[in-house]
Amino acid sequence: MRVTKTDFIHYLNCPKSFWVLKRQPDQYPPGDFSLFLQKITREGFEVEECVRSFFKNSGRDVTFQKVFETSEGLYARADVIERSASGEKILYEVKSSTSVKTDQSANHLKDACFQKICAERAGENIDRVFIVHLNASYKRDGPIEPEKLLTFIDVTEQVVDLERETALEIDQALVLSKKEFIDRDGCPCLYKSRGKQCDTFRIFNPLVPRHSIYSIPRLSAKLRTEFVSRGIFDLRDVPDDCDLSEGQLLVVQSAKRGKPIIKVPEIRSFLSKIEFPVYFFDFETYASAVPLIDGASPHRQFPVQYSLHVLEANGVLVHRDFLEREARLPLELIERMQDDIGPEGSVVSWHASFEKTRNRELAVDFPQKAAFLDALNARMIDLEDVFKSDYVDIEFDGSTSIKKVLPILCPELKYDDLDVQDGTSAMEAWQRMVSAESDEAESIAQALLRYCERDTLAMVEIYKFLSAL
- Please determine, for residue 34, whether its predicted confidence score (pLDDT) is greater than 60: no
* C-alpha torsion sign, points 136, 137, 143, 145: negative
Closest CA to 85 of 108, 62, 107: 62
Given a contact cutoff of 8 angstroms between Cβ atoms, the answer to whether 466 and 384 are in contact is no
DSSP 306-329: EEEEEE-TTS-EEEEEEE--SSS-
Secondary structure in 3-state letters for 248-270: HHHHHHHHHHCCCEECHHHHHHH
Q: How many CB atoms lie within 10 A of CB 261?
A: 17
Closest CA to 184 of 12, 23, 4, 2: 23
Task: Provide the pLDDT for residue 295.
Answer: 93
Domain extent at residue 116: 5-177
Give me the CATH number covering residue 117.
3.90.320
Residues 386 and 447 in one domain: yes
Taking only the tens place, the pLDDT of each residue in 225-260 is: 999 999 999 999 999 999 999 999 999 999 999 999
DSSP 3-state assignment of 434?
helix
Residues 402 and 286 in one domain: yes
Residues 168 and 209 in one domain: no
Is 146 a domain residue? Answer: yes
Taking only the tens place, the pLDDT of each residue in 165-207 is: 999 999 999 999 999 999 999 999 999 999 999 999 999 999 9
Given a contact cutoff of 8 angstroms between Cβ atoms, the answer to whether 151 and 132 are in contact is yes
Q: Which of 177, 198, 221 is the last residue of a domain?
A: 177
- Please determine, for residue 397, whether its predicted confidence score (pLDDT) is greater than 70: yes
Respond yes or no on whether the N-terminal peptide bond of residue 209 is cis (omega within 30° of 0): no
Residues 279 and 235 in one domain: no
Given a contact cutoff of 8 angstroms between Cβ atoms, the answer to whether 65 and 91 are in contact is no
Q: Which of 177, 199, 228 is the last residue of a domain?
A: 177
Task: Provide the pLDDT for residue 35.
Answer: 59
Mean pLDDT to the nearest integer, 343-357: 98
Mean pLDDT to the nearest integer, 403-431: 93
Please give the helix or strand (H or E) that residue 368 lies within, else none.
none
Residues 59 and 194 in one domain: no
Residues 38 and 152 in one domain: yes
Task: Provide the pLDDT for residue 57.
Answer: 87
Residues 241 and 271 in one domain: no
Given a contact cutoff of 8 angstroms between Cβ atoms, the answer to whether 138 and 291 are in contact is yes
Residues 224 and 364 in one domain: no
Q: Which of 142, 177, 212 is the last residue of a domain?
A: 177
Q: How far apart are the first and last CA of the chain?
A: 60
Given a contact cutoff of 8 angstroms between Cβ atoms, the answer to whether 93 and 56 are in contact is no
Is 33 a domain residue? Answer: yes
Give me the CATH number covering residue 452.
3.30.420.10
339 burial (CB, 10 Å; 0-12 / 13-18 / 19+) is exposed
Is 183 a domain residue? Answer: no
Cβ within 8 Å of residue 182, ≥6 positions away: 16, 19, 176
Is 375 a domain residue? Answer: yes
Task: Provide the pLDDT for residue 261.
Answer: 98
CA 284 to chain centre: 15
Residues 23 and 148 in one domain: yes
Taking only the tens place, the pLDDT of each residue in 75-123 is: 999 999 999 999 999 999 999 999 999 987 789 999 999 999 999 999 9
Mean pLDDT to the nearest integer, 268-288: 97
Task: Provide the pLDDT for residue 31.
Answer: 62
Closest CA to 214 of 198, 236, 191: 191
In 63-200, which ranges are continuous DSSP H helix?
A: 108-121, 146-149, 156-177
Residues 92 and 239 in one domain: no
Residues 159 and 94 in one domain: yes
Is 415 a domain residue? Answer: yes
Is 172 a domain residue? Answer: yes
For the chain, the domain total comes to 3
Given a contact cutoff of 8 angstroms between Cβ atoms, the answer to whether 338 and 372 are in contact is yes
Is 262 a domain residue? Answer: no
Residues 328 and 400 in one domain: yes
Task: Provide the pLDDT for residue 32.
Answer: 53
- Please determine, for residue 294, whether its predicted confidence score (pLDDT) is greater than 70: yes
Closest CA to 400 of 232, 269, 218, 267: 218
- Please determine, for residue 371, whether its predicted confidence score (pLDDT) is greater than 60: yes
Query: What own/partner pairs with CB < 8 Å and gap ≥ 24 does 224-231 have?
Result: 224/191, 224/192, 224/193, 225/191, 228/190, 228/191
Is 182 a domain residue? Answer: no
